Amino acid sequence: MTLSGWSAFFFWFFGLAAIFAGLLTVMARNAVHSALFLISSLVSVAALFILANAEFIAGVQILVYVGGVMVLFLFVIMLVNVGAQERGSEEIFNRPRQVTASLIFCFLLVAGVLFAVNTGYQKLSDLRSQQAANQPVAGNARLRRGATLTSSITTQSETFGAALYRYGSLPFEIASVLLLVAIIGSVMLARTLKQERSADDVAPEVLAEEVREHPEVANVEVDSESRS
Amino acid sequence: MTLLLSVFVLLFQEAGEGRLAQMARGVKNPDLSKFLVIAALLFIIGVAGVLTRRNIIVIFMSIELILNAANLNFIAFSMHLQETGNVNAIAGQIFTVFVIVVAAAEAAIGLGIVIALYRNKETIWVDEIDLLKW
């Protein structure tokens, strides 16, 4: 599998864009800028997915990550006040000794990974050329043509859907339960004392202490149905 | 600078003679290994972000970057296996979907924790959250 022509150009374009946007994500002073750079990195990775014949995953990436997760991140950034780092009065990185140690560690990691990719890939490509000799390569010829007759319609999403329900139906169900637990858990975690009080779900001694500090909590109506 | 240079030397050193020609061919026709290299670099950037930043939200974003690098690896190997005619090559894409699901759940829970933490400690700097330190 090698890309060629415009595919190769777009591969390098989006690959470098993803890496630079990732670097800027880590180095940006403002958290909102960080989130926006992460969005562009995720979009670039989605483009790489399309180049790797995974159109459906690219769509899921943009819908779920960019549309869902990143909007959640932006909301939380705006909920917690980050004014100090915008003014430039706060150090954004951790203590210098820790930064040095982790950068050395990361350098060793990247050197090791690149070395492993370089040496290990030679064998893999030999194996692949062996197998490709046995197997006729499935080209674009047998695919249906699009309505404009300039492009062909891939069957990638169809294959993916069939495989998801054939091989992954149990993990699929487990994932749905996981998402339900995540929803309930995050609602529970982010609840304020006022909301806990209105559901009558707070220990009496904690409540007494809080009322001493914030008297407005005592005025919250207790939901009588949830008491039973 | 030296770090960048050695990264490039490692990136483009390949076995055998005609290194420059081979390098040019590799750039012109990127294959599986180039996907892996880009994923590795994204992963390292994410690890560096987790280890060095002080803002807990940026640390979460770096974790998302790491998960994306893993997804890129899954997709690249899935493509590679499809090319070699492996029947179950699509499994890499299925795995990617589950990674995305778990990442979404993790982000929801993690940001809930961040909000609860901010409400109690009034800070999002990780070096000030040291209640368990001794």
Residues in chain A with CB shorter than 8 Å from the CB of B5 are none
Q: What pLDDT, on a 0 to 100 scale, did the predictor assign at position A222? A: 64
Q: What pLDDT, on a 0 to 100 scale, did the predictor assign at position A131? A: 63
Q: What pLDDT, on a 0 to 100 scale, did the predictor assign at position B74? A: 94
Residue A187 touches chain B, beta carbons under 8 Å: yes
ipTM attached to this prediction: 0.83
Question: A223 — alpha (psi -120 to 50), left (phi > 0) or beta?
Answer: beta
Q: Token pair for residue B4?
A: 């960048």
Mutate: best of B71, B88, B106, partner A, most A CBs <10 A: B71
The CA distance from B133 to the nearest CA of chain A, in Å, is 16
Residues in chain B with CB shorter than 8 Å from the CB of A12 are 27, 30
Q: How far is CA B56 from CA A73, A210, B52, in A?
A: 11, 27, 11
Specify the pTM: 0.81
Backbone angles phi, psi at A93, to 5 degrees: -95, 165
Question: CA-CA distance, A142 to A153, in Å (whole number)?
Answer: 10
Residue B24 touches chain A, beta carbons under 8 Å: no
Average pLDDT over residues B97-107: 93
Average pLDDT over residues A19-26: 94
**Tens digit of pLDDT for each residue in A117-136?**
777 777 766 666 666 655 54
Residues in chain A with CB shorter than 8 Å from the CB of B55 are 31, 34, 82, 85, 92
Please name the residue that has the structure tokens 């930064």: A99
pLDDT of residue B128 exceeding 80, the answer is: yes
Interface of A with B in 25-64 (CB under 8 A): 25-26, 31, 34-35, 38, 41-42, 45, 48-49, 52-54, 56-57, 60-61, 64
Residue A135 touches chain B, beta carbons under 8 Å: yes
Q: What pLDDT, on a 0 to 100 scale, did the predictor assign at position A62? A: 94
Q: What is the share, in percent, of chain A residues with pLDDT greater than 90?
A: 30
Question: CA-CA distance, A102 to A51, in Å (whole number)?
Answer: 33
Cβ-defined contact of A117 to B29 (cutoff 8 Å):
no
Q: What pLDDT, on a 0 to 100 scale, did the predictor assign at position A213? A: 76
Question: CA-CA distance, A122 to A135, in Å (whole number)?
Answer: 20
Distance of CA A80 to the CA centre of its chain: 21
Closest by Cβ to B96, choosing from A57, A119, A167: A57
Q: What pLDDT, on a 0 to 100 scale, did the predictor assign at position A117? A: 79
**What's chain A's average pLDDT?**
81
Q: What pLDDT, on a 0 to 100 scale, did the predictor assign at position A111? A: 87
Cβ-defined contact of A80 to B78 (cutoff 8 Å):
no
Average pLDDT over residues A4-21: 90
- Which DSSP state fits B53? B
> Which 3 state secondary structure label does DSSP give A190?
coil
Residues in chain B with CB shorter than 8 Å from the CB of A131 are 84-85
Q: CA geometry: angle at A152 spanning A146 and A158, to 5°?
A: 95
Residues in chain A with CB shorter than 8 Å from the CB of B106 are 182
**Tens digit of pLDDT for each residue in A141-151?**
566 776 777 77
* Helix (H) and strand (E) counts in chain B: 5, 0
Closest by Cβ to A3, choosing from B29, B61, B90: B29
Average pLDDT over residues A182-193: 86
Residue A165 touches chain B, beta carbons under 8 Å: no
List B53's β-bridge partners, or say none. Answer: A93
**Tens digit of pLDDT for each residue in A60-113?**
999 999 998 999 999 998 888 666 555 666 677 878 888 888 889 888 988 888
Question: CA-CA distance, B92 to A60, in Å (whole number)?
Answer: 15
Domain boundaries, chain B: 1-30, 33-128
Residues in chain B with CB shorter than 8 Å from the CB of A59 are none
Q: What pLDDT, on a 0 to 100 scale, did the predictor assign at position A37? A: 95
CATH number of B33-128: 1.10.287.3510
pLDDT of residue A228 exceeding 50, the answer is: no
Q: How far is CA A26 from CA A132, A164, B63, B113, B131, in A?
A: 41, 34, 11, 21, 26
pLDDT of residue A226 exceeding 60, the answer is: no
**Tens digit of pLDDT for each residue in B28-42?**
778 888 898 899 999
Closest by Cβ to A85, choosing from B55, B78, B116: B55
The CA distance from A190 to the nearest CA of chain B, in Å, is 5
Question: CA-CA distance, B38 to A20, in Å (whole number)?
Answer: 11
